[in-house]
Amino acid sequence: MQIKDDLQTRWWGLEAKLVERFGKKPDMETILFLIGIQEFGGATEKFTKEQKQDLMHVAVCSLFMQSGFYEIEGYDVDNWPHFKQLKPLPDMNAIEQENFLKDHILLYFTTHDF
């Protein structure tokens, strides 16, 4: 239980920093969207609904690259990254999936000096 408590404490710390930076508490989709924008190159254009979904996909793949689950395969003509899955993600229930994602998000923000 201590590992889960530590994860939750670290998560609350990240949320507090994001509130300080953006003025409100973001949900998981918003955090993934922000990471996706960062990984795409910080574009300032308005994104379509499909592009927003693509940015969240870029975020998830980028997060799981940290653990060797994905690698960048290349970029298309619009500079969108394309990923190759290297190994299957572990089988997890919904709570374990959320914690797995949170842990990778925390690692991302730590390694990107946030």
pLDDT at site 47: 86
Cα–Cα nearest to 106, from 43, 16, 2: 16
At residue 1, the pLDDT reads 46
Could you tell me the maximum CA-CA distance found in the chain, to the nearest angstrom?
47
* Per-residue pLDDT tens digits of the chain, which is 114 residues long: 455 679 999 999 999 999 999 999 999 999 999 999 999 886 667 888 999 999 999 999 999 999 999 999 999 998 899 999 999 999 999 999 999 999 999 999 999 987
Q: What is the pLDDT of residue 31?
A: 96
Virtual torsion, Cα 17, 30, 90, 86, nearest 10 deg: -100
DSSP-assigned letter for residue 85: E
The pTM of the full predicted model, rounded to 2 decimals, is 0.88
The residue written with tokens 């918003």 in the block is 30
Q: Where are the domains of the chain?
A: 2-111
C-alpha distances (whole Å) from 56 to each of 4, 36, 51, 62, 65 are: 25, 5, 9, 10, 14
